[in-house]
Structure 1
Amino acid sequence: MDLKKTNAPVNTITYDRNQIDEPTENIYESISIIAKRAEQINTEIKKELIDKLEEFATYNDSLEEIFENKEQIEVSKFYEKLPKPHALAVQEWLTDKIYFRNTEEDNQ
């Protein structure tokens, strides 16, 4: 996922309920799908952040030698400015980038 190219809003906005539930015709099912995707996005971002911070990590045995690592601070600031995972998931949902299927219909 390329986080730099997302156009999801950083601030909270109000969405049209009819747009959200249009693909499933059930608002609760739509929200459930969006929530599951937001969890996936959050896991991806968290893993990516930890990997990047590990690159700059210094391991010292003494607590007295703790110092600021400017690279870690810059990476952290970048991730703090990103849209939240739920905003990214809603944006994906509205642009039909999330695949979903109803397993109950598949069984019948």
Structure 2
Amino acid sequence: MNFKDIDAPTSTETFNRGVIEEKTGNIYQSIVIMGKRAEQINQEMKTELIQKLDEFASHTDSLEEIFENREQIEVSKFYERLPKPASISIKEWMSGDIYYRVPEDDTK
């Protein structure tokens, strides 16, 4: 996932309840779907951040190395400025980018 191109809001935003529940007909089901997608996005972001920070890891840390590692600090700040996974999943839900299926409907 390319986090640089995400145009989700970085602050809290109010959404129309009717628009959110429109696709499923049930507000709670829509929220569960967005929540599960937010968990997936969070896991992807965490994995990518850990991979990038592992590049800076050294097995023998000295006090000077800890304070001089500006690149590691910049990577961390970049991820802190990204929209939260919940905001990204709401944006994807509103634009119709999330695929979901209801298991009860598969048995028909």
Match for 2:12: what amino acid?
T
> What is the total number of aligned residue pairs between the two structures?
107
For 1:77 and 1:57, the matched residues in 2 are separated by 17
For normalisation by structure 1, the TM-score amounts to 0.94
Q: Which sections of structure 2, spanning at least 5 residues, go unmatched?
A: none
Query: How many angstroms does 1:67 deviate by?
Result: 2.2
Tell whether 2:82 aligns with 1:82. Answer: yes
Q: Which sections of structure 1, spanning at least 5 residues, go unmatched?
A: none
For normalisation by structure 2, the TM-score amounts to 0.94
Query: How many percent of aligned residue pairs carry the same amino acid?
Result: 53
* 2:66 alignment partner in structure 1: 67
* 1:92 alignment partner in structure 2: 92
Q: Kindly report which structure 2 residues correspond to 1:5-84, keeping only aligned pairs within 5 A, or say none.
A: 5-60=5-60, 64=63, 66-68=65-67, 69-84=69-84
| Alignment root-mean-square deviation, CA | 1.3
For 2:72 and 2:20, the matched residues in 1 are separated by 37
Q: Which runs of 4+ in 1 moved over 4 A?
A: 63-66
State the secondary structure of the residue aligned to 2:66.
coil
